[in-house]
Amino acid sequence: MLELQGLTRRFGARTAVDGVSLVVPAGQMVGVIGRSGAGKSTLLRMLNRLTEPSEGRILAAGRDVTTMRGHALRGWRAECAMIFQQFNLVQRLDVLTNVLIGRLYHRGTVSSLLKRFSAEERAEALTTLDRFDLAEAALQRADTLSGGQQQRVAIARALMQRPRLILADEPVASLDPRNATVVMDALARVNREDGLTVMVNLHHLDIARRYCGRIIGMSQGRVVFDGTPAELTSDRVRTLYGVAEEEFHESADEPALVA
Amino acid sequence: MSVTGADTAAWRSARPAVIRGEEAFHAARRSRRRATLFAMAVLALCLLVSAWMSEAHPVRLAEGLPRIGEYFARILPTLHWSTLFAGTETEGSLAFWFYRIDDWLLLLAETANMAAVATLGGIVAALPLAFLAARNTAPTPWTATLARRFLEALRTVPSVVYALIFVWAFGVGALAGVLAIALHTTGALGKLFAEAIENGDHRPWDGMVAAGANWMECCRFGALPQALPSILSYSLLRFEENLRSASVIGFVGAGGIGEELYKVISFNYYEEISAIIVLIMLAVMAIDLTSEQIRHRLAGAL
Ligand SMILES: Nc1ncnc2c1ncn2[C@@H]1O[C@H](COP(=O)(O)OP(=O)(O)O)[C@@H](O)[C@H]1O
Ligand SMILES: [Mg+2]
């Protein structure tokens, strides 16, 4: 179980996330929606301390995440794997090594620096890749793959961390609709088959409704909606955001950086 | 203010906005010209002062120039067509000019080895320092500042000064030269490596942090792969430069062919001076060409 208490982050005078309190039970698939600048990315990045909170606490199964340092902090980060909009793979390395990077926290630094992974680790990586139909591409360089393939490699890397929680920041915003479906299916599978909690930022309401059992709506750093997909009707969207559903994601789209 | 063409009928009937814009344009141009003239005057003054302080008088230049030609005439070998390919005993032959070629080739090999070892040592020391000095990979901002200042200090001291210190400490020989060049190389490469690292994309780094990697692992996988082509290219370039330093660092007794060159210069063995200089030039050219080839290959392959 994950608990956020009054989580706040300020950038100068601007409050990106403003007193967010939530309880997320284990195994839930939560969609966080909101227009561009609502604070979705900041909220997610605070959960694994890629961004430091200004105020508030994060509790994971009773442990205070906000005060962790050094080895404990890296352990927490390994526990909550992150999926990025731009995949954040090491482009010049092959797919297999990128997936093996997910195991870094669990092994010795020296053998990692030399890329000396064991046969068991390679087998686990290849099995994970095979779950997403990517075993054939294992020795290709990451930058030769399509966006949808790269995002599935990133999910495989995330699973190698043996996480309890997956944080996905706009995982499909740079993808075409077909690839977006493949990647969302992969996340849903991980949630269902591996029992992982998934928190995913989205700005397409229909994707959120289709895949997530619980939807959290954000606006100007605050939580303005927390409920089931059925409760998030078009009327509700209009009263919360002041725009019709069709307009909702238009201005939300940052231009996709990857072709 | 008189503006060019201001009296034409077209100008008189022009809109006020155009007139104001034109006046502003001329005013801006005038002030820009004044600034340029002032800067050039200051530059000329500085040049004059520094010429006076370094005693670079035109008279002395005119006096000294012919003597340079004279020196070149002296160190030129006497070669005769008829005996060009004769043995080492015959005056006027190539073999007579290069009569100690075996010794010199050995010294040249030692020089190239010094350059290679010093470059390698410099790279090994510069890499970790560069990750500390690059602002996007430094653990804390003050580490970056500290590492930067340290690298600056390393490369500000010329390698000859290091060589003098090391010759005093370790005695005459190649070890002093290698250490001296390696230290200077660390400073120079560390800065270039740090800049190559800073040009990298931050996304792989974020990916590594989010996977729970420690600082060294983040550097290794999140930053190094992107910077590697530049790092290799800078290192090869440095090797070429170090070969040149290694051939003169022997002047202060730090090994290599420089010691021999210093000896023949001070004893005025004129023909040997030119022979050694030709050898050094050939070696530097050969290494320049090969390393240029390697760099182009690498740039394509990586
Ligand atoms: N590193 C940063 N520095 C300054 N302002 C930031 C930074 N990151 C985000 N912000 C600001 O915080 C607000 C929320 O941003 P973000 O969390 O990226 O929103 P979203 O992901 O919902 O589009 C925005 O106004 C953004 O400009
Ligand atoms: Mg965002």
Mutating to test ligand 1, I would choose from A14, A15, A32 the residue with most ligand atoms within 8 A of its C-beta, which is A14
Question: β-pairing, A2-11 with A14-24?
Answer: antiparallel
Does the pLDDT at position A41 exceed 90? yes
pLDDT at A250: 62
- What does the alpha-carbon distance between residue B15 and residue B19 come to, in Å, rounded to a whole number? 6
Mutating to test ligand 1, I would choose from A8, A18, A32, A42 the residue with most ligand atoms within 8 A of its C-beta, which is A42
Question: Of all residues in chain B, what percent carry a pLDDT higher than 70?
Answer: 95
Chain A residue with CA closest to B219: the answer is A113
ipTM: 0.83
Tokens at A157, concatenated: 């890397």
Find out whether the beta carbon of A11 lies less than 6 Å from any atom of ligand 1.
yes
Nearest Cα to A43, choosing from A150, A232, A224, A201? A201
- What does the alpha-carbon distance between residue B240 and residue B288 come to, in Å, rounded to a whole number? 6
Find out whether the beta carbon of A7 lies less than 6 Å from any atom of ligand 1.
no
Q: Do A50 and B206 lie within an 8 Å CB cutoff?
A: yes
Please tell me the distance between residue A15's alpha carbon and the centre of ligand 1 in angstroms: 9
Distance from CA of B119 to the nearest CA of A (A): 22
CB contact set of A82 (below 8 Å; sequence gap of 6+)? A44, A48, A50, A158, A166, A167, A168, A169, B207, B210, B211
- What does the alpha-carbon distance between residue A223 and residue A55 come to, in Å, rounded to a whole number? 16
- What does the alpha-carbon distance between residue B8 and residue B14 come to, in Å, rounded to a whole number? 10
pLDDT at B5: 52
A82-91, B10-19, B48-57, B204-213: least confidently modelled range: B10-19
Please count the residues of chain B: 302
Predicted confidence band of residue A254 (pLDDT cuts 50, 70, 90): very low
**CATH class in words for B100-301:** mainly alpha
Which helix H or strand E contains B261, and what residues bound it?
helix B257-266
Q: Do A81 and B208 lie within an 8 Å CB cutoff?
A: no
Instruction: Give me chain A's average pLDDT, please.
Output: 89
B299 touches chain A (CB under 8 A): no
Q: What is the mean pLDDT of residues B255-281?
A: 85
Predicted confidence band of residue B119 (pLDDT cuts 50, 70, 90): very high
Q: What is the mean pLDDT of residues B148-163?
A: 92
Q: Is residue A1 within 8 Å of A24, Cβ to Cβ?
A: yes
Query: Rounded to 5 degrees, what are φ and ψ at A251?
Result: -80, -5
Q: Is residue B189 within 8 Å of A82, Cβ to Cβ?
A: no
Distance from CA of B272 to the nearest CA of A (A): 50
C-alpha angle with apex B194: A89 to B124, nearest 5 degrees?
95
Alpha-helical (H) ranges within B16-170 are: 16-53, 58-75, 94-97, 101-133, 141-156, 159-170
pLDDT at A257: 42
Chain A residue with CA closest to B207: the answer is A88
A78 touches chain B (CB under 8 A): yes
**Per-residue pLDDT tens over the stretch A47-75:** 999 999 999 999 998 899 999 988 899 99
Q: How many CA atoms lie within 13 A of A5 on its CB side?
A: 10
Cross-chain CB nearest to B207 (options A78, A88, A105):
A88
Find out whether the beta carbon of A41 lies less than 6 Å from any atom of ligand 1.
yes
Residue nearest to atom 17 of ligand 1 (CA): A39
B298 touches chain A (CB under 8 A): no
Does the pLDDT at position A212 exceed 90? yes
Q: Is residue A97 within 8 Å of A90, Cβ to Cβ?
A: yes
Please tell me the distance between residue A117's alpha carbon and the centre of ligand 2 in angstroms: 34
Q: Which residue has the tokens 């003050």?
A: B142
Query: Rounded to 5 degrees, what are φ and ψ at A15?
Result: -100, 105
From the centroid of its chain, how far is CA B109?
A: 22
pLDDT at B261: 86
pLDDT at B102: 82
Predicted confidence band of residue A156 (pLDDT cuts 50, 70, 90): very high
Please tell me the distance between residue A8's alpha carbon and the centre of ligand 1 in angstroms: 12
Q: Is A52 exposed, middle or buried (0-12, 13-18, 19+ CB in 10 A)?
A: exposed
- What does the alpha-carbon distance between residue A20 and residue A12 come to, in Å, rounded to a whole number? 19
pLDDT at A210: 92
Rg of chain B taking only CA atoms, in angstroms = 29
Q: What is the mean pLDDT of residues A146-164?
A: 93
* CB-based contacts of A69-73 (< 8 A; 24+ apart in sequence): A73/A49
Structure-model confidence comparison of residues B145 and B293, the more confident one: B145
Mutating to test ligand 1, I would choose from A9, A20, A33, A41 the residue with most ligand atoms within 8 A of its C-beta, which is A41
Does the pLDDT at position B197 exceed 90? yes
Q: What is the mean pLDDT of residues A144-166?
A: 93
pLDDT at A174: 85
A204-213, B82-91, B100-109: least confidently modelled range: B82-91
- DSSP state letter for B3: -
pLDDT at B1: 47
Distance from CA of A238 to the nearest CA of B (A): 35
A181 touches chain B (CB under 8 A): no
Where are the domains positioned within chain B? 9-53, 100-301
Predicted confidence band of residue A106 (pLDDT cuts 50, 70, 90): confident
Structure-model confidence comparison of residues A166 and B248, the more confident one: A166
A179-183, B51-55, B235-239: least confidently modelled range: B51-55
Looking at chain B, the number of H-run helices and the number of E-run strands are 13, 0
pLDDT at B302: 58
Does the pLDDT at position B6 exceed 60? no
Please count the residues of chain A: 259
What are the CA-CA distances from residue A249 to residues A202, A203, A206, A207 (Å)?
Answer: 9, 6, 10, 11
Chain A residue with CA closest to B226: the answer is A92
Q: What is the mean pLDDT of residues B255-274?
A: 84
Q: Do A90 and B210 lie within an 8 Å CB cutoff?
A: no
DSSP string of B19-33, one letter each residue: HHHHHHHHHHHHHHH
Which helix H or strand E contains A83, and what residues bound it?
strand A80-83
pLDDT at B286: 87
Find out whether the beta carbon of A63 lies less than 6 Å from any atom of ligand 1.
no
Tokens at B143, concatenated: 């580490």
pLDDT at B7: 60
Nearest ligand, CA of residue A12?
Answer: 1
Predicted confidence band of residue A255 (pLDDT cuts 50, 70, 90): very low
Q: Do B302 and A102 lie within an 8 Å CB cutoff?
A: no
- What does the alpha-carbon distance between residue B186 and residue B175 come to, in Å, rounded to a whole number? 16
CATH superfamily for A2-86+164-248 is P-loop containing nucleotide triphosphate hydrolases (3.40.50.300)
Please tell me the distance between residue B152's alpha carbon and the centre of ligand 2 in angstroms: 39
Chain pair A-B, CB pairs under 8 angstroms: 79
**What residue type is A248 in one-letter code?**
F
Structure-model confidence comparison of residues A235 and B141, the more confident one: B141
Residue nearest to atom 16 of ligand 1 (CA): A39
pLDDT at A256: 41
Coil, strand, or helix at residue B225? helix
Neighbours of B179 (CB within 10 A): 23
B232 touches chain A (CB under 8 A): no
Instruction: Give me chain B's average pLDDT, please.
Output: 86
pLDDT at A226: 93
- What does the alpha-carbon distance between residue A85 and residue A168 come to, in Å, rounded to a whole number? 8
Cross-chain CB nearest to A48 (options B210, B220, B226):
B210
Find out whether the beta carbon of A36 lies less than 6 Å from any atom of ligand 1.
yes
Does the pLDDT at position B255 exceed 60? yes
Q: Do A93 and B216 lie within an 8 Å CB cutoff?
A: no
pLDDT at B300: 61
Q: Do B226 and A82 lie within an 8 Å CB cutoff?
A: no
Find out whether the beta carbon of A38 lies less than 6 Å from any atom of ligand 1.
yes
B139 touches chain A (CB under 8 A): no
